[in-house]
Each structure stands twice: as C-alpha cells, then as structure tokens.
Chain A
Amino acid sequence: MFQTQQDKLNQDIQRWGDEFGRTRSALIPILQEIQAKYFHVSEHAMQVVANMLDIHPVEVYGVVSFYSFLDHRPKGKFIIRLCRTLSCAMQNKDRVARQLENDLGISFGETTPDGRFTLEWANCIGMCDQGPAMLVNDHVFTRVTPDKVHDILDGCRRAFGVFATEKRQEYLV
C-alpha cells in the first residue's frame, strides 16, 4: 500500500472512531465502514483499530473472521451473493450459479483477477417467495434466470470507466 493510502485509511479510522465512539461496541460499525470503503479489512487496518479501541489485534481478527460480511482478503468491488438455501434451491438456483461461474470465469468463493467481482454463496436472504434471489452489494435481484445474469453483470461493468476506482453503483436500481 502507498504511504498516502495508508494515511487515508488511518484518517478514516479516526474519523469513524469520532463518529461511533472509541468503545468496544463501536468495533463492528467501524469494521463495516472499512469493509465498505476498502473492500476488505487489512491487517494494517485491524492494527490501527485495535490501537484506537485499546484492544488486542487478535480480538479484532476474531471478529473479522467470524462474520461473513467482513473479510481480511481483498474482495471485488461488486460482491455477488447467490442464495443457496432451500427455497431458492427448489427454484433452480443451480443453473443461475453455473451461468455466473461461466460468465465471470471464476468459482464460488473467488474474486476475478481484475478485482471487480467476487462470487459467493449466501444463506437465505429473505426473498424465498421470489427465488432464485441474489444480492449484488446492497441491491437485491429476484427471480434471476441464467438469461438475466448477463444483463446484471453488464450493468455492473458499465460502472467502471477508464479511471473509475471508486465504487459506483447508482445505475443499479
């Protein structure tokens, strides 16, 4: 990481400390912000947060590793989570899964080499009457068919201009 980027991360963490408080209960909200902005919680970030909250870094790691929406490995800018639970499974989620893997060229649990997409399984996301359901970051897609997969991915790809590095997803409505 460039020094400047590390500085930026440090500053952000202090700012979130101001916002949520410097207590243990603020830990998860702070980690959620880091995850959302930096697409992962790096070892460096864990160390800074641990110092700020005056807890052992292992405690922070324990929390990051427990929750499936937090990760210490870099994730894609778009995290696709396809529901694999029973009601969606009964509505042919397997075919959607295959199409996602084919179109992205990765398997579940992997991130594309360009860092754009991560493909993951989710457990029931509360759309069981309209499956197969999946989340792309904060957006929910229902009744997904293999056919629709291409359009959804295309929508995501359009968010990346030549210099676009920030998360942009307004078009995903």
Chain B
Amino acid sequence: MHNTKTGPLTFGSARINAGLQHAVKKHRSEIIAEISASGMKGRGGAGFPTGVKWNLAAAAKDEHKYVVCNADEGEPGTFKDRVILTEYADLVFEGMSIAALAIGAKHGIIYLRGEYSYLRPLLEAILQRRRNEGLLGENILSREGFTFDIEIRMGSGAYVCGEETALIESLEGHRGEPRNRPPYPVDTGYLGHPTVVNNVETLAWVACILAKGAHWFKSIGTDKSTGLKLFSVSGDCEHPGVYEFPMGISVADLLKEVGGEDAKAVQIGGASGHCVPASEFARTIAYEDIPTGGSIIVFGPDRDMVDVSRNFLEFFVEESCGQCTPCRVGSAKLLEGVEKLSKGACSMQYLRELRGLGETMQLASKCGLGQSAPNAFLSIVAHFKDELMGRIAAAPGEKE
C-alpha cells in the first residue's frame, strides 16, 4: 500500500485527543459555538457551515440521534480521505465523538466505500483501542452521561451514495437513491432520527479546532473560507499526491507547488467540478470563488479536452441512479453528443442544443449528481471552443 504524501500534512500538528479532552469540559452549546466561530464549512465540497448543521441536529428533540462519517469518497480524482483514514483515523473518530457530544448522539456510523475495504481491519483495530482507552463507550473521559460508540458499515460500489440522503437510504438497506429534501437528515435522517452527516476531512478538522481554538482556524484562509484544506492532486504534474494548503490559494500558486506550471487547464472538484483554463489561473480556490471537495486534475498542453469531457460523461452515465429523467437521459444524450464532437461530426446548432440540455440538467435534476454532471462539459465548451470548433471544421471526412 502506498500513501504518497507530497506536501506537508500536519493537521495543524494537533495533538490526538486534545480536542476531545477540551470538549468534555464544555457545555454542548459551547462546542457548537466554537465550531461556528471557526467558520468551518463542510469539506466534502458543498460547503455547508458545520456549526449550523450541528445546531439544527442539537435542537431536534429525539432520544436517538446519529453521527455519520461520510467515507464514501468517490469523486474522480479524490483520495485525501483514504490518506486521512490511513494516517489520522484517530482525529476522525475524535471528531465524531465531539459531534456526538455536541448534538447528543449515542450512535456513530462510518460509511466506508467498498473500494476501501482494505482499510477496515485497521479502522476496527483503532476503534477497539479507543474503546480500551475509555474514549468510546460509557461516560467517556469521565463525563457523566457521555455515551457513544462507532460502527463501520461498508458501501457497495455506488458513487451516488456519497450524497447524504442516498447514503442514509443505503444504511437503511435500500437502493442508494437520493431523497427529496426537505426534510433534511438533521431532522429526519437514519431510521427517521436526527442525523448529522459529515465528511471525513470535516471531522478531522473539528478535532483540531477544539484542540487549538476557533481563532487559530479563523486566522488562516480568507474571510469567507477559513482554515486549511486538503487537496488530492493528480494528472499532468510532477508531484501528484495529497497536499495541505490554506483556503484561498490561487490556482497558479497551487500549480507551482505541484510542478504543473505548464498546464493548459485544471479540473477543480472532480467530474462534478469545473474546468478552469490557464487564462483564469489567478482565481482562488475558496467557497466564494471556486469551491471544491479537493480534487485537482492537471491537464498538460497536449491533453485533448474532448477526451476529458467524454471520460467524465461516461462516468455519470454509469453512476446516475436513474431515478429522474434529466440526469438519466440527459447524461446519455450529452455523451452521445461528445462522441459526435470527437469525430468532428457535430454542427454548431447541435452544440447549442447540447449546451441547452446541460443547463436544463443543472436546473431540473433531483440531486447534486445530475445537477453537476454537465459542469465539466459546459466549462470545456465555454473555454475550449477552439478545440471543438477546429474539429468541426477540420474533420468533415470522418462523419459516420
């Protein structure tokens, strides 16, 4: 097993369990206030403020509440959660325990993607050690009534289960089809009980924030995007791997760090993210500019952007849960279009129609998967028209 880690991965050099030790001395509302003050937003990509989420779940009245760690990392180009779980699993479990204390949950579930089942024995062993050390179980760290334990549940190879309502469906033994929202999981989640679903990285940072204080986290990054963020970098660059950078780093600076200065474009946010051309490398990676779950795929000068777009659309055709029409049919139609494009058999009119279809999918799809499926295609059409137009003009002889 290789765990390439190119940039320094420090997690603010937080001491393991320091955060939990601070948390047990605090009132529930103080914990949530600390997280809110830090400005922490969900690291899975959607960027929902973690404090707000916890507050909603804490306010819900129910004897049974759940904390779920979303370890269904499946966005193409993302592997930071794998590295976190291999090297810093304690921080993640600690973050879950802090969340449980804050919202009043007794049960924790980590939903680990099936592709990572080789991590399971390691995680089981760490959980067992934490039980032995009194960090899980009853009256944790002598805090009266703080009872919490964590179980591991495995995914079964479905990208859409990374969507939190689909993940809950899957936990309940159903097909992983996203639900309509509202109701939100904080209110009606696993088995109908209030449930907080947080990303692996979010939970690790939570532990660090409790350990080092909200002001430490807030002093890093930008006003609207605080703290550090992990990035999974792959593609045409010299040093692919996992990096830790402050939020608000520019694309150009990031490329310099990873040895990808000659890139002509970068895909930020995986298949569901956006393709950023070189002319926009001064833009920053932050919730207010380019938001991302941390997937960075670098495209060198010779990459064929139509191939890129085709690969992503194949992915969505495969992973669409099929529940709603814009996504199920739309993805297949877009893929058909891209195949035509790559053969140089696509008219300008048809290209316009494809663009319209993509925009409809963004609006009319039920969940994030369908809403973001056309993103990469649309940004490639917007920024690399030259490549597309060139083909349209150059390859009339290749029409089927």
Answer yes or no: B117 CB below 8 A from chain A CBs. yes
Answer yes or no: A122 CB below 8 A from chain B CBs. yes
> 17 pairs across A/B with beta carbons < 8 Å?
A25-B171, A27-B173, A63-B173, A63-B175, A68-B156, A69-B157, A84-B314, A85-B271, A86-B308, A86-B311, A87-B297, A123-B74, A124-B315, A126-B73, A128-B240, A129-B232, A129-B242
Answer yes or no: A24 CB below 8 A from chain B CBs. yes
Q: Are B156 and A127 in contact (CB under 8 A)?
A: no
Q: How far is the CA of A29 from the CA of B155 in the complex (A)?
A: 9
Q: Are A129 and B156 in contact (CB under 8 A)?
A: no
Q: Chain A contacts of B236 at CB under 8 A? A: 90
Q: Are B74 and A28 in contact (CB under 8 A)?
A: no
Answer yes or no: A66 CB below 8 A from chain B CBs. yes
Q: Chain B contacts of A87 at CB under 8 A? A: 76-77, 234-235, 297
Q: Are A66 and B115 in contact (CB under 8 A)?
A: no
Q: How far is the CA of A10 from the CA of B174 in the complex (A)?
A: 22
- Which positions 17-32 of chain A face chain B at CB distance < 8 Å? 23-29, 31-32
- Which positions 304-340 of chain B face chain A at CB distance < 8 Å? 307-308, 311-312, 314-315, 318-319, 321
Q: Whole-angstrom distance from the CB of B304 to the nearest CB of chain A? A: 10
| Interface 1/0 per residue, A14-56 and B, CB below 8 Å | 0000000001111111011000000000000000000000000
Q: How far is the CA of A114 from the CA of B15 in the complex (A)?
A: 53
Q: How far is the CA of A135 from the CA of B74 in the complex (A)?
A: 15
Bin chain B's interface residue count.
35 or more
Q: Chain A contacts of B271 at CB under 8 A? A: 85-86
Q: Among the listed stretches A1-9, A97-105, A136-144, A152-160, which one makes contact with chain B, having 4 or more residues with CB under 8 Å of it?
A: A136-144
Q: Chain A contacts of B234 at CB under 8 A? A: 87, 128-129, 131
Q: Chain B contacts of A127 at CB under 8 A? A: 79, 82
Q: How far is the CA of A142 from the CA of B3 in the complex (A)?
A: 11
Q: Whole-angstrom distance from the CB of B381 to the nearest CB of chain A? A: 17
Bin chain A's interface residue count.
35 or more
Q: Chain B contacts of A135 at CB under 8 A? A: 115
Number of A-B contacts (CB under 8 A): 122
Q: Are B78 and A126 in contact (CB under 8 A)?
A: yes
Q: Are A128 and B175 in contact (CB under 8 A)?
A: no
Q: Are B156 and A124 in contact (CB under 8 A)?
A: no
A90-B235, A122-B115 known; A128 and B159 CB under 8 Å?
no
Q: Chain B contacts of A66 at CB under 8 A? A: 158, 175-176, 321
Q: Are A126 and B158 in contact (CB under 8 A)?
A: no
Q: Are B175 and A123 in contact (CB under 8 A)?
A: no
Q: Are B241 and A85 in contact (CB under 8 A)?
A: no
Q: How far is the CA of A85 from the CA of B116 in the complex (A)?
A: 16
Answer yes or no: B125 CB below 8 A from chain A CBs. no
A25-B172, A63-B174, A130-B2 known; A86 and B312 CB under 8 Å?
yes
Q: Whole-angstrom distance from the CB of A51 to the nearest CB of chain B? A: 15
Among B82, B115, B311, point to the contact of A89 (Cβ < 8 A). Answer: B311
A29-B153, A63-B175, A86-B271 known; A129 and B311 CB under 8 Å?
no
Q: Whole-angstrom distance from the CB of B3 to the nearest CB of chain A? A: 10
Q: Whole-angstrom distance from the CB of B384 to the nearest CB of chain A? A: 16
- Which positions 45-82 of chain B face chain A at CB distance < 8 Å? 73-79, 81-82
Q: How far is the CA of A129 from the CA of B260 in the complex (A)?
A: 14
Known contacts A66-B175, A86-B297; 9 additional CB pairs below 8 A are A24-B174, A25-B172, A25-B191, A29-B153, A90-B236, A126-B81, A126-B115, A127-B82, A129-B241
Q: Chain A contacts of B115 at CB under 8 A? A: 122, 125-126, 135
Q: How far is the CA of A170 from the CA of B139 in the complex (A)?
A: 40
Answer yes or no: B303 CB below 8 A from chain A CBs. yes
A67-B158, A122-B115 known; A62 and B76 CB under 8 Å?
no
Q: Chain B contacts of A68 at CB under 8 A? A: 156-158
Q: Nearest CB to that of A62 among chain B residues?
A: B175
Q: How far is the CA of A135 from the CA of B303 in the complex (A)?
A: 27
Q: Chain B contacts of A125 at CB under 8 A? A: 115
Q: Nearest CB to that of A90 among chain B residues?
A: B235
Q: Nearest CB to that of B161 among chain A residues?
A: A67
